[in-house]
Structure 1
């Protein structure tokens, strides 16, 4: 007796007969292959400004949140007594998040402003 043929394996990603598979994203306009010196300067300035915004935000976060363990460590030496563990967890687990939201909102506004300035400069050039 001959062995039965093994059916071909198929990967089903959508219902047969439905709309065709979506095509890959293509931007409306192709970015220029070669940047002019002026465009190159605008891109470099945008990258520097975005990097500065990110480093400033990260530095502020590190300064404000990173110093909390030092504060908790040296607070008993001031005569106020030991800091209860519950207070430490409330500060680290709850009170830090509004600070994170404020820093994130400030960063997003700054990044969008940088991109708006870049768009204006490129369109005006």
Structure 2
């Protein structure tokens, strides 16, 4: 029905009215992708956490392995002590070192993955 004053109005709608609407909020990943100041803060906090973990693991490993020569110096009997006919310093420095390094590496990887998972969860919520 048209009125004498003008044409009939037509309502135009999108066929995707039931589609999920895109959120226009700023997510953490969007902040990082767009390299905003907030994104820089997120990334620097992740890097600092990873660096702190790496330095902690390196320091712990260095203390454990660095104490072996100190042990040999302070306790002279350990220099001549043997295990299955092999001198104790050779056993400790040639065999025991590898499990210590392996455990340190596993601890680092597990905690680094945890930090990244927490970061991803946090950034995804923002």
Shorter-chain TM-score range: 0.5 to 0.7
Alpha-carbon spacing, 1:52–1:111, altered in 2? closer, same or farther (3 Å): same
Check whether the contact 2:78–2:89 (CA below 8 A) recurs between aligned residues: no
Partner in structure 1 of residue 61 of structure 2? 61
* Aligned pairs (5 A) from 1:1-125: 32=33, 34-76=34-76, 81=77, 83-84=79-80, 86-125=87-126
Task: Report the RMSD for the aligned CA atoms in angstroms.
Answer: 1.7
Q: Answer 1 or 2: which has greater helix percent.
A: 2
Structure 1's 87 and 36: CA in aligned 2 closer, same or farther, altered over 3 A? same
Name the CA distance, whole Å, in 1 between partners of 2:122 and 2:44.
13
TM-score normalized by structure 1? 0.66
Q: Which runs of 5+ in 1 are unaligned?
A: 1-30
Tell which structure's C-alpha radius of gyration is larger.
2
Aligned-pair distance for 1:37? Answer: 2.6
CA displacement at 1:82 relative to structure 2? 5.2
Structure 2 CA distance for aligned equivalents of residues 35 and 82 of structure 1: 57
How many residue pairs align between the two structures?
A: 90
- Gaps in structure 2 of 5+ consecutive residues: 1-31, 81-85
